[in-house]
Homo-oligomer: A and B are copies of this chain.
């Protein structure tokens, strides 16, 4: 992933959408798929507002074994349905090799979550595929370690990697994590891979998502991962950091102005 051996930015083709080029990728959707109605309604709304990918969790790694773990296979089926209805490519997290074939066949970008950033067995398996991988920075991993984990995927032959900054652990507890936007210029300097930012997990507070999303793009991010929900108060996970669909629409308006002032597109 070293920039010196590979001076030009890598542009990854995901079902016809280039990630890492002039166009900003916007991956929006709920923390987890909860029902047919929920995912279809959110998918249609974010598509209407200009999202280019649908994000949503089917298999959810949670700190406590007693928390909602996702709808699993059923969630994956509902995501496929939402893709069919909206045409939005899917981004969803993988937590076990058990479902790899399922993911290869139906998912457009396979996400490796923060907790699995150093699960090298998983990374090596994904390296043997040619699927685009969204590799999230561990909440306490250095930028160097994130790039080393990407290397675990690349040495196996898969160069379709999108890196994601999603906040790191610090002493500050006003926010859930501290979103480290300096990771964007750092990664751009060291590597040729695209970088996206997740302001939802990065702050853990819905009213911070808009300002941090605008800041991420101003700092050079190639895309955003945003949690959007139609009913945050009753979301089964991360409601407090999800924005409503109308808030997402207005965010996209402001984003458009900044993106254009930077000479990029959305």
Contact = CB atoms under 8 A, between A and B. Distances in A.
A178 interface: yes
A179 interface: yes
Interface residues of A, number: 60
B175 A178 contact: no
Interface string A123-151: 00000000000000011101111001001
A220 B214 CA distance: 9
Contacts of A61: 118, 120
A138 B115 CA distance: 10
A169 interface: yes
A156 B116 CA distance: 21
A148 B65 contact: yes
Nearest to A151: B65
B175 A186 contact: yes
Interface in A169-183: 169-175, 178-182
Contact of A65 (B95, B155, B215): B155
Contacts of A234: none
A172 B155 CA distance: 25
Contacts of A115: 118-120
A181 B179 contact: yes
A111 interface: no
Given A143-B174, A152-B65, A169-B140, A214 B219 contact: yes
A18 interface: no
Interface of A: 61, 63-66, 95-96, 98, 115-116, 118-121, 138-140, 142-145, 148, 151-152, 155, 168-175, 178-182, 184-186, 189, 202-203, 207-208, 211-212, 214-220, 257-258, 260-262
